[in-house]
Amino acid sequence: MSSDDDGAWCPIPGRQYDRVVLGHGGGGLLSDELLRDVFLRAFRGDTLAKLEDSAVLPRLAGRLAFTTDAFVVHPLFFPGGDIGRLAVAGTVNDLAVAGAKPLYLSAAFILEEGLLLTDLERIVESMRSTAQEAGVELVAGDTKVVERGKADGAFVVTTGIGVVPEGRTLSVSAAEEGNAVLVSGTLGDHGVAVLARREGLEFETTLESDCAPLASLVDALLERAPSTRALRDPTRGGLASSLVEIAAASRVSIAIDEAQLPLRPEVRAACELFGLDVLHIANEGKLVAIVPESEADAALAAMHAHPLGRNAARIGKVAAERAGQVTLRTSIGAVRVVTQLSGEQLPRIC
Amino acid sequence: MKYVDEYRSEKTARGLAAAIRSELRAPWVIMEVCGGQTHSIVRYGVDELLPPGVELVHGPGCPVCVTPLETIDRAHAIARRPEVTFCSYGDMLRVPGSRGDLLSAKAAGADVRVVYSPLDALELATRLPERQVVFFAIGFETTAPANAAAIEEAQRRGVENFSALVSHVLVPPAISAILEAADNRVQAFLGPGHVCTVMGTLEYEAIAARFAVPIVVTGFEPVDLLEGLLMTVRMLQAGRNGVEIQYRRAVQREGNPRARELCARVFELCDRKWRGIGQLPQSGLTLAREYRDFDAAHRFEVAHIETQEPADCIAGRVLRGLAKPTDCAAFGKRCTPQSPLGATMVSSEGACAAYYEHRLLPLTQTRSEAEVLR
């Protein structure tokens, strides 16, 4: 697409390139143009607009939560989201499940020469709207460009800072015997939606990624269930990884029930077809909550009342014996162990 | 989900298990032949519902597990050639050859792709005319028809940059080999449901008659497996040999004649070495003479393959039903899915990987012991 025929989306006159070129990362005039045309147009906050070498933030009260994450998804745009939304939601969610109120983000872009500037604008616009949804401000950023073939369109790294309110002590090592295990909704939606768009495995589905910032869901949950012990967002490695990490760190076991796992029929069907285990598939807008039994119903009700938690479900409980293990009661009533994914999920031959 | 949930029903499964328990009058050793059945048994805990008198041993029916090391080394050598785009089913990527696996070849620059169907590899060949696209055609009679179709289609369309490295294996010779062995313990078989969907049951009737064993052709869902086991126990206790079909919704006695004809056109019988088991006469399929142009083993000369199996891997005994994965000293210690010594630890259809991924540790183990094991 040329810049001239795209008045509504790209009104800057005389833009020289419609694709990212190496010069956009060179630190000179082209870099400046990219910064002003693309990034500053989306992110109008005062801190970023000052263009200092560092964002200087106001004094923050309380313990700080600080996290970073790199995003390399392929394809860049998928049903229900894109790398921009993912990059904001992912870091916001890492802060939120630590009990923090997410406040500030930085974003670093590694762009591949040849990326369409309109695609970059879509990514940045998606980051802007997701940041707004999550109530965070993007205050610092950087862009580098690498030669064609040395990256996959765009890589985005986001770093986030949040403040943990007084009295919140969520920890992966705080699960206790008798706690209830809850998930905030259907599992595997993101992983299967992205899989469905991968070259070589495209299949028709209306399934969308669940990619979303969870800070407001966490607030709603913790308001009704303030004694919640641990939260995790089961992203890469899926629910299995989150539960194994909690069981190991808390020196407890976790028993879940296959029949209680909330699953969309399309996700189940894709798992059957490709021989995948939904417990290992990534989610980008779900959390798993370890809640004392006395607050479990309140926690579920709080999630059900939130748009991102409508399909929340109780899936199991925490026990003392077999410390470190996660077990699953299978659909026929037997018990098997749940382990972390080793490497990558590889589809079976038949 | 229809056609799935009813075969995973706890009520039906428990009813079948109770019937097995009440009818059982003697201990029996039964082998499930197919890796898909092994996966399902361990994944759903089917054996947990069984009385102690029914011992399940896991058979040689995991295709990546029995693909011989020479073939894997040959595949790796071809995949490393600069002009080659090498296509494989996913679970073949991590199978260790003598020097690393396909994932490490990929990391070192080889163009290795996962495909779900040989026809996808053929499509890739038409899209990449400057590349030599090689498909690793492994598996039992189940995958053979699709592979045959792709090769026939390649010839029909004249896709000259497509070839297949064929290493198909056949189930009946493996069952015969197990029954002929002096140390055999297996008294009956759950026959391979999907293989028989293609091939029918005639070959199995011959084996049942020759060795006087019951074979029940069985499906892959927990209820299928329990029903197949109940039928097997009844045959054993009645002293009845022969073939019965549990998996009636897919299997007919004559199989799928069109698929068999297709295979007969494209492939011919050959002697084949099975990893962990050894050379079995007339136990494999190779490309028929008319299709030799599409044989990657002919197209790409690979000089001198010297294989090296880890000395302490007991995969061969596991594949013949003589040992359980947990009998192996390396299991869960030096051999894990992250660094497998043998192929049975790679595919989720392999008995060792299935045990590692899904088996409960004894209740008495403390966490530190559990960590050592895991």
In order of their start, the domains of chain A are: 22-164 (3.30.1330.10), 180-338 (3.90.650.10)
In chain A, residues with a C-beta closer than 8 Å to the C-beta of B194 are 350
Boundaries of every domain in chain B: 1-310, 315-373
**Residue B45 distance to chain A (closest CA, Å):** 5
Q: Which of A261-265, A342-346, B16-20 has the lowest mean pLDDT?
A: A342-346
Considering the entire predicted model, what is its pTM? Answer: 0.88
Nearest to B90 among A330, A334, A346 (CB): A346
Q: How close, in Å, is residue B333 to chain A by CA atoms?
A: 15
CB neighbourhood size of B183 (10 A): 8
The Cα B61–Cα B365 span in angstroms is 32
Query: Does residue A346 carry a pLDDT above 70?
Result: no
In angstroms, rounded to a whole number, what is the distance separating the alpha carbons of residues A219 and A134? 12
Would you state the pLDDT for residue B150?
Answer: 97
Among A14-18, A324-328, B322-326, which stretch is predicted with the lowest mean pLDDT? A14-18
Residues 257 to 296 of A: which have CB under 8 A from any B CB? 265, 268-269, 272, 274-275
Please give the residue of chain B at the shortest CA–CA distance from A266.
B1
A323 part of contact set with chain B, CB < 8 Å: yes
Report CB contact under 8 Å: A200, B43.
Answer: no
Instruction: Check whether A3 has a pLDDT greater than 50.
Output: no
In angstroms, the separation between the Cα of residue A262 and the nearest Cα of chain B is 13
Q: What is the number of CB-based contacts under 8 A between chain A and chain B?
A: 124
Among B357, B361, B365, most A C-beta atoms within 10 A, so best to mutate, is B357
Distance from CA of B311 to the nearest CA of A (A): 24
Q: Is B2 on the interface with A (CB under 8 A)?
A: no
Q: Do B90 and A324 touch (CB under 8 A)?
A: no
Q: Is the ipTM of this complex over 0.85?
A: no
A 107-126 near B (Cβ less than 8 A): none
Q: Which of A90, A69, A131, A75 has the alpha carbon at shortest distance from A285?
A: A90
pLDDT of residue A1: 41
- Say whether B367 and A324 touch across the interface (CB within 8 A): yes
The average pLDDT across B203-216 equals 98
* CA–centroid distance for B97 within its chain: 17
pLDDT above 60: residue B330: yes
Using the structure block, give the residue that is written with the tokens 């897919």.
B250
Residue B349 confidence (pLDDT) above 90: no
pLDDT, position B368: 37
Classify A186 as helix, strand or coil. coil
Mean pLDDT of A258-270: 94
Using CA atoms, how far apart are residues B88 and A60, in angstroms rounded to an integer?
A: 54
Cβ–Cβ gap A348/B9 under 8 Å: no
User: A128 pLDDT band (50/70/90 cuts)?
Assistant: very high
Shortest Cα distance, chain A CAs vs residue B16, angstroms: 11
Q: Which residues of A22-37 are buried (b: 16+ CB within 10 A; e: fewer)?
A: ebbbeeeebbebbbeb
What's chain A's length in residues?
350
In this complex, the residue of A201, A335, A346 whose CB is nearest that of residue B94 is: A346
| pLDDT value, residue B298 | 94
CATH class of residue range B1-310: alpha beta
- pLDDT tens digits for range A83-107: 999 999 999 999 999 999 999 999 9
Paired strand residues for B84: B132
pLDDT digits (tens, 9 = 90+) for B249-282: 999 999 999 999 999 999 999 999 998 888 999 9
The residue of chain A with its CA nearest to that of B136 is: A349
CB A322 within 8 A of CB B361: yes
The per-residue pLDDT for B3 is: 77
What local confidence, expressed as pLDDT, does residue B96 receive? 85
Nearest CA to A120 among A70, A61, A76?
A: A76
Residues 163-202 in A contacting B (C-alpha not used; CB under 8 Å): 200-201
Facing residue for A335 by CB, picked from B10, B347, B360 = B360
Tell how far CA B359 is from the center of its chain: 20
CB B46 within 8 A of CB B222: yes
Cβ count near B261 (within 10 Å): 12
Q: Is the pLDDT score of A263 beyond 90?
A: yes
> Is A348 within 8 Å of B114 when comparing Cβ atoms?
no
Q: How confident is the model at residue B361 (pLDDT cuts 50, 70, 90)?
A: low
**A327 part of contact set with chain B, CB < 8 Å:** yes
Q: What is the pLDDT of residue A27?
A: 87
Q: How many CB atoms lie within 10 A of CB B356?
A: 26
